[in-house]
Chain A
Amino acid sequence: MTALHHSLLPRVALPALALLAAFPLVMQAIDQPFYIVLATRILIFALAASSLNLLIGFGGMVSFGHAAFFGTGAYTVGILMVHGVESAWIAWPAAVLMSALAALLIGAISLHTRGVYFIMITLAFAQMIYYVFVSLKAYGGDDGLTLAGRSQIGFGVDLASDVVFYYVVLAIVATLLVLLGRLVNARFGRALQAIRENETRAQAIGFPAYRYKLACFVLGGAMAGLAGVLIVNQNELASPNLLHWMQSGMLMIMVILGGVGFLYGGALGALVLLLLEETLSEYTIHWQLGVGLVLLAVVLFAPNGLLSLARRRTAGG
């Protein structure tokens, strides 16, 4: 049975949050600052994948163009910085807004289609945006746009420090996951899941399906935009790769790996995939082969993602 309710699982989430809060201190103590950067990257992708999971897992919208919103957020910060806007308080909301706007336009058109057509049209839109940025020579074109530094947030907090940046990212990602949990259990989330489950029926009891799906698409796009804001600050580079369809595919793999429609599915998928990439690439440049095998195993033995294993165990015991 599919429960409509999705717990934030405080008994797991709070200890995890405590561990994450202590993580940089431990890494500094053992002099492994590199892992702080890796953990930041994982957190950012946890946010991006969670935003895609909102679309796929809760809204039933299999979008293959999610990188468009991720990249739009990143480029907005980069372009504003080129023009002298370094304040996070201006650039970050502007970037989220731009991503939301892009999602509104793309969603408004794409949501008139279904199934494979929806997958293809979202992919096509994302690739269009990709080529737009590749052709913008003023903003780096193919090579991407190198930032002069990270955004300024003032109050004596300097994002240039990887540790400070890590904590800012952690605070943002944790807040967004709580918001996501509230959203899926609120009226909106229930209506959305009803539409995912049976759209005709949902309309026949009076839910305006298109409107709710579009709202979901825009929220997911905005959330991906915020993840883009963070990744561009982390990398200090807005690369067209962030917009490429392979990035969309990567996010989709994370969601499938972690668990479509599970609140923490995107986060767990990001963690597993990026750790796999990190460990396997130390041994071979063909690390993607290993990732493929793991993905194959998950799809065969836990077709609903890794989190479905945890649910099965709790249901059994």
Chain B
Amino acid sequence: MVEPLLALRGLTKRFGGLTATDGVTLDIAPGEIHALIGPNGAGKTTLIHQISGALPPDDGSVTFGGREITQLAMHERVAAGLVRSFQVTNIFQRFSVLDNVALAVQAGSGSSMAFWRPAAREAKLFREAHALLARIGLADKAASTAATLAHGEQRQLEVGLALATRPTLLLLDEPLAGMGPEESERMVQLIAGLARTCTILLVEHDMQAVFRLATRISVLVSGRIIASGAPDDVRRDNEVRRAYLGDEVPSAAA
């Protein structure tokens, strides 16, 4: 088997009496779109927090690209290529769409301990930012203030910010949350496109999208991984059906 890009070993996080993640062990291979599904409150976002460095685990380890990163700060993980997007849109609301992305490109391109040269004159920053806006389908919104974008566009920008740092592994936390069918379709296309350049760990509730995109699926219930495998195997797994999927699973014939 290929060396996993991301290896979680026994990740445990407790909040008082509640065990949000309970010894999660999971491997993400390079090039996968690995979907993480599970009912509300299963601990998916808590897991993302621990992988991205927003929350320290109580127990267990995170290894990324063969290097143990359990103790690294969030910005150090980003520098290593492990980048997340947020479930609740988290962008620089008052800045222009272009500045949002240019900031992310800047963050991913060397130190910002530079005090003299105007960043606005760094053509490379803005060239890259424009290219990225084209890729996420926001080219014509470059000058708009981020807060004025429609919900779906803000979600695209959210993913774009993560993408601008040139991640090796992208953690997408419910990128389709709150989207209409058309917006969802655009986002699914976008994610499918991203998979050509980076590995993706996708947390998502939209099962249509999950089964279209994922190359592997893991199921998290009450803080434990109860199944992990190819989409068809997960779909057929009885325990998964009982715990979670129910009628939502698109039938295998469809």
Taking Cβ atoms with an 8 Å cutoff, the residues of A that contact B are: 1-2, 4-5, 182-183, 185-191, 194, 197-198, 200-209, 212, 215
Contact = CB atoms under 8 A, between A and B. Distances in A.
A187 to B, nearest CB: 4
B119 A190 contact: yes
Given A182-B115, A186-B118, A205 B145 contact: no
Interface string B53-84: 01000000000000000000111101100011
A205 B165 contact: yes
Given A187-B122, A201-B91, 7 more contacts: A187-B113, A189-B115, A200-B90, A201-B90, A202-B107, A203-B78, A206-B75
B211 interface: no
Contact of B112 (A182, A190, A203): A190
A191 B105 CA distance: 11
Contacts of A185: 118-120
A203 to B, nearest CB: 5
B95 interface: yes
Contact of A207 (B84, B96, B107, B115): B107
Interface residues of B, number: 40
A207 B90 CA distance: 15
B117 A205 contact: no
Contact of B91 (A191, A198, A215): A198
B112 A212 contact: yes
Given A187-B112, A197-B95, A215-B113, A205 B164 contact: yes
19 contacts: A1-B145, A183-B115, A186-B115, A186-B119, A188-B112, A188-B114, A194-B95, A194-B103, A198-B93, A200-B54, A201-B91, A203-B74, A204-B162, A205-B164, A206-B75, A206-B79, A206-B83, A206-B104, A208-B75
B78 A205 contact: yes
B15 interface: no
Given A1-B145, A198-B92, A188 B113 contact: yes
Contacts of B90: 198, 200-201, 204
In the A-B complex, the 10 residue pairs with the closest CB atoms: A206-B78, A191-B112, A2-B94, A187-B114, A206-B107, A187-B112, A205-B104, A1-B145, A205-B107, A208-B75
